[in-house]
Amino acid sequence: MFRASVSKHSRVGHTIGLCSLCVLTFIVLNNTSIAQSADTSVVHELRPAEVTAPVNRTAQPMADTVGAVIMAGKRTTVIHPGAQRADLSVNLARQVFAKVPGINVWENDGSGAQLGIAARGLSPNRSWEFNMRQNGHDICADVFGYPEAYFTPPMEAVDRIEVVRGGASLAYGPQFGGMVNFQIKRGASDRPLAFETRQTLGAFGSMNSYNALGGTKGRWNYYTYLHHRGAEGWRGNSRYTTTTAYGALEYQASAKLKLGAQFTRMDLRSQQPGGLTDATFSLDPRASTRDRNWLLLPWHTGAITAEFRPDARTIIDVKVFGTASERNSIGFLKAINQPDTVDRATGEFAARQVDRDTYANVGLEARMRHGWRFLKRDAQLAIGLRGYGASTHRRQQGTGSIGSDADIAVTGAYNRELDFTTSNGAFYVENLFRLSDRLSITPGARIEHIVSRVDGRINNSGAGAVDSGERQRDRVLFGAGAQMRATTSTSIYANFSEAYRPVLYSDLTPSATTDVIDPGLRDASGYNIDLGYRGDLHKAITFDVGAYFLSYDNRIGTVLRDGVNYRTNIGKSVSTGVEAYAEADVLRLFGADKQDRRISIFGSYGFNDTRYTRWNDPALAEDPVKRIENKRVEYAPRWTFRSGLTWRERRFTASMLVNAVDGVYTDAANTEKPNAAATAGWIQGYTLLDASATWSFTQDVQITAGVNNATDEAYATRRAGGYPGPGLLPGTGRAWYLTLAAKF
């Protein structure tokens, strides 16, 4: 049952969601029966791209094969940010990912540099349950030890976003959530120089500037951009500036070989306003009681690539990539109900805490896809090799300055200093077999070898030394997908893929000298199952409706044993649900097909039930109030719904988006009433309304005006126990923006 305590706006949003989805589902089913009756006498060969996209389509499944990777039988979505009618100037994820059903978004970072998304009851914390990539290569700190994505490219630079759910674990790595890849634009193919600019002004001192050059000259293609974004912020003490520069160069060495190189640099300087107590949030969600907290992120990532096509049936893709980056913070990190005040004796503020991480990783991925014949039908074999190494130098609890600026200098030694290293080798194989004109299957397997180590000290005492030795493990993952053409333009798909989550750095580090790490600590493991139906009808309707099951075993936690905290595998959770998306070109559906007039409506709905099925804490097992079994997993909303309407009349386009999300618990115990520090307790659901309008002076020059959270809803998406809180973290209130975009 849904909670009775969700807000009025949330209940309204849910009702709107069900009604809109029912209408779209009726249209889909009604037109499916027509399409099926028209298809009974025709047999069609499976093709690499299964469906015919309508003209206005802005979200679609990926083709059966993409480069050297097989995608048949997986739940996939490709979205084009530039076609989403989204506010690209702040990377507003609820708009960019609106047509990917079930995506849960954390909204507390106004800079847009740190994306927090998840699905199927997983944690959105810096998207760490997804394998985050740019142009096909990793961009996080350490895929296995610290998979947090501190960098997100500006959406103005992104041509498309590829989202693969749990079925990505064989080709891209073991993450439960799947893979998200930001594919950056390429230079214009028809001229040596093309220029693109987008200039945005907005509420609360917001300014965004994006400028790009690209083109093709002979065998060379290049694309480069410079992006700068800054604002004072909706809340107090939340100003930020971020600058990103990118350059990519490709050389077509021959008809068969293409070489490339790319590099990205981002610098983020962000003031952190801290969390709020629930009482303060209800009175003034824009309040801030922290004015000395800062986050500094210099981020560098790049790759060298080679694509070789020795014949028409074979493609070989090689990427050498790396990241050299930092995460630096300074601030007063006590609980939010403890004020950051001047000491009466000294007349000065207390010294702030400085934490610094330095990341360095390098990897190589080599993939090959080869077409061959099996039972007189085309088949596709995909294999891949991966070698990866990462190191993190972590310095924490340093004594910083007593000032309020972004000074990360320290006095004396850091109280905690650790070195983490990860080595990884992997091999995977998948094969697409076409068993008939309609049916294909894709079995596969992946072998992972991981070695991790932590050394250093957790404090300055003689007993603070940490020496974990090497932790080595080998894993074999299996999976299989199936796909059957139901009609000429619709298909049924199913997938089973095993996944696991390697032990993180935080799991290997005791928080105190008396804590004990289980020497047999195992990686979390489990699997994803998908079953769905998707396609197009009459080039006017797009839909993808599916169900899923996710098993997440060996979850890691801390229990009290013999008077000490013991870090070990503690439980299991299971997620079941439905992800449904449908979009209709209304005028085309009723026979009108004028290019200068369009009305489209879409609905994206995710229902999710994620619960703990086992929790091995003997201290809680005897207390029925504290028992975790059958309680909801934290930050797993029961439902999310997004619906949009777009109307285009010649040069004018208007759009509206409704975003409704159910409430969430924020701890495994499902605490209802917020605690004094606001680090635990139920968070109400919410409904947001975004709207925008665009006038096109020409095909290449447009001006857009929009308002986000038009009803000025006060809402929150998360609580933090430490950085960037602690406390309840509000989302942004009503904010307007004005964008001028041009291409030359």
Section 647-666 average pLDDT: 95
What b/e string do you get for 75-88 counting C-beta neighbours within 10 Å, with b at 16 or more? Answer: bbbbbbbbebbbbb
First to last CA, the chain: 55
Residues paired with 543 in a beta bridge = 535, 582
DSSP state string for 2-69: --TTS-HHHHHHHHHHHHHHHHHHHHHHHHHHHHHHTTTT------SS-SPPPTT--EEPPPSEETTE
Q: Which domains does the chain have, with CATH numbers?
A: 8-743 (2.40.170.20)
Total length of the chain: 744
Structure letter (DSSP) for residue 631: P
Query: Residue 237: is its pLDDT beyond 70?
Result: yes
Check pLDDT > 50 for residue 204.
yes
Which residue, among 644, 630, 495, 520, has the nearest Cα to 582 in the 3D structure? 644
Q: How far is the C-alpha of 193 from the C-alpha of 615, rounded, in Å? A: 60
Residue range 660-684: average pLDDT?
Answer: 93
Instruction: Return mean pLDDT, the chain.
Output: 89
- Phi-psi map region of 455: left, alpha, beta (phi>0 left; psi -120 to 50 alpha): beta
Q: How does residue 166 score in pLDDT terms, banded at 50, 70 and 90?
A: confident
The model's confidence at residue 33, banded by pLDDT at 50, 70 and 90, is very low
CB burial readout 362-384, b (16+ within 10 A) else e: ebbbbbbbbeeeeeeebbbbbbb
H helix or E strand, kind and range, residue 618: helix 618-621
pLDDT tens for each residue of 425-460: 999 999 999 999 999 999 999 999 999 998 999 887
Which pLDDT tens digit goes with each residue over 518-554? 777 888 999 999 999 999 998 889 999 999 999 999 8
SS3 (DSSP) at 429: strand
Instruction: List, in sequence order, every beta strand (DSSP E) within 404-470.
Output: 416-434, 439-457, 465-467
Confidence at residue 11, expressed as pLDDT on a 0 to 100 scale: 45
Distance CA 590, CA 601 (A): 14
Res 420: pLDDT = 94
pLDDT tens string 83-99: 888 999 999 999 999 99
> Using only C-alpha atoms, what is the Rg of the chain?
26
User: Is the pLDDT score of 123 beyond 80?
Assistant: yes
Dihedral-angle region of residue 375 (phi above 0 means left; psi in -120 to 50 means alpha; beta otherwise): left
Identify the CA nearest to 725 among candidates 375, 346, 326, 272: 272
Minimum mean pLDDT range among 7-21, 326-340, 439-453:
7-21
The predicted pLDDT at position 622 comes to 60
**Mean per-residue pLDDT, 210-233:** 97
Q: What is the pLDDT of residues 546-588, one digit of tens each?
A: 999 999 998 887 766 766 777 788 889 999 999 999 999 998 8
> Rounded to whole angstroms, how far apart are CA atoms 207 and 227?
11
- The string of pLDDT tens digits covering residues 246-299 is 999 999 999 999 999 999 999 999 999 999 999 999 999 999 999 999 999 999
Residues 6+ apart with CB under 8 A from 11: none
The predicted pLDDT at position 626 comes to: 63
pLDDT (0 to 100) of residue 47: 39
CA distance 432 to 65: 9
